[in-house]
Amino acid sequence: MERLSKKPIIEVRHLNKSFGDNHVLKDFSMSVYPGENLVILGKSGSGKSVLIKCIINLIQADEGEIVVLGSPIQGLEQDELDDLRAKVGFLFQSNALYDSMTVRENLEFPLRIHWTKEERALGAEAAVKEALEDVGLLHTIDRMPQELSGGMKKRVALARSLILKPKVILYDEPTTGLDPITSREISQLMVRVQKKYNATAVIISHDLNCIEITSDRVIMLIDGTCYADDTFEALSKSTDHRIKEFFT
């Protein structure tokens, strides 16, 4: 297969993570290849958010190795980790927009961390507008988050995770709480922006519509390990009862 000849963008090897006696991730391994959209599917509480947070070291793994864009993240100094995070967009399960800031200010926020004052003076306005245009929400630039619908907030959060033109985008439940039509729109938008930025994406979801639209490959996280790894189509036809229950 083509992907096997490419070097992974993300490698997770023998990851273990417990909270007290709750052993969430058990010797979990996976590779994510350049340009693919990989979906992680698993029940509520199975450890999907913990996994994605370990990938950018928001949660520290107990054991195992995580390499992102060639850097072993557990060994990085804070400034190296900050540099790496600039290349990895993260869409949180809750949108995590700042309620007291306008849409524009929300989008400028990552620039304040990762760009110099001069870079911002020259490019912030154009970068904010381009990211908002990507998600079809340029007209909301001066609105407050509470004036937006749930789907619009998701799109603004997506624009904010795109503003630094990340090489990798991590999505935690991008369509949760949305109606099926908006969910489809967001999923199609994810595919479009991924193509435009030539990014690699890891998407956590149990929305079958979203998975069908976005995924090149699906990993099933069951009992803390990678239980299955295949295309959506192949998994949806599986006769394994633990896989089947996700598709009925």
Ligand X SMILES: Nc1ncnc2c1ncn2[C@@H]1O[C@H](COP(=O)(O)OP(=O)(O)OP(=O)(O)O)[C@@H](O)[C@H]1O
Site of interaction with ligand X (CB under 6 A): 19, 22, 24, 42, 44-50, 93
Q: Among Mg ion, ligand X, none, what binds residue 24 when CB lies within 5 to 8 Å by partner kind?
A: ligand X
Q: Name which of 53 and 153 has its Cβ closer to ligand X.
A: 53
Structure tokens at 151: 């789907």
Q: Name which of 35 and 177 has its Cβ closer to ligand X.
A: 177
Q: Name which of 164 and 221 has its Cβ closer to ligand X.
A: 221
d(C-alpha 149, C-alpha 96), whole Å: 14
d(C-alpha 172, C-alpha 138), whole Å: 24
> Smallest distance from the beta carbon of 53 to ligand X, in angstroms?
8
> Smallest distance from the beta carbon of 46 to Mg ion, in angstroms?
9
Instruction: State the CB neighbour count (10 A cutoff) for residue 198.
Output: 10
CB within 8 A of 126, min separation 6: which ones?
none
* Terminal C-alpha separation, the chain: 30
d(C-alpha 241, C-alpha 243), whole Å: 5
Q: Name which of 49 and 187 has its Cβ closer to ligand X.
A: 49
> Smallest distance from the beta carbon of 19 to ligand X, in angstroms?
3
d(C-alpha 62, C-alpha 38), whole Å: 24
Q: Name which of 42 and 110 has its Cβ closer to ligand X.
A: 42
CB within 8 A of 117, min separation 6: which ones?
none
Structure tokens at 164: 């630094």
> Smallest distance from the beta carbon of 111 to Mg ion, in angstroms?
28
* Total interface residues for Mg ion by CB under 5 A: 1
Taking CB under 5 A as the binding criterion, the range among 47-55, 113-121, 130-138, 174-182 that sits at the site for Mg ion is 47-55
d(C-alpha 38, C-alpha 27), whole Å: 19
> Smallest distance from the beta carbon of 204 to ligand X, in angstroms?
7
Under the binding rule (CB under 5 A), the answer on residue 49 touching Mg ion is yes
Under the binding rule (CB under 5 A), the answer on residue 37 touching Mg ion is no
| Residues engaged in binding Mg ion (CB under 5 A) | 49
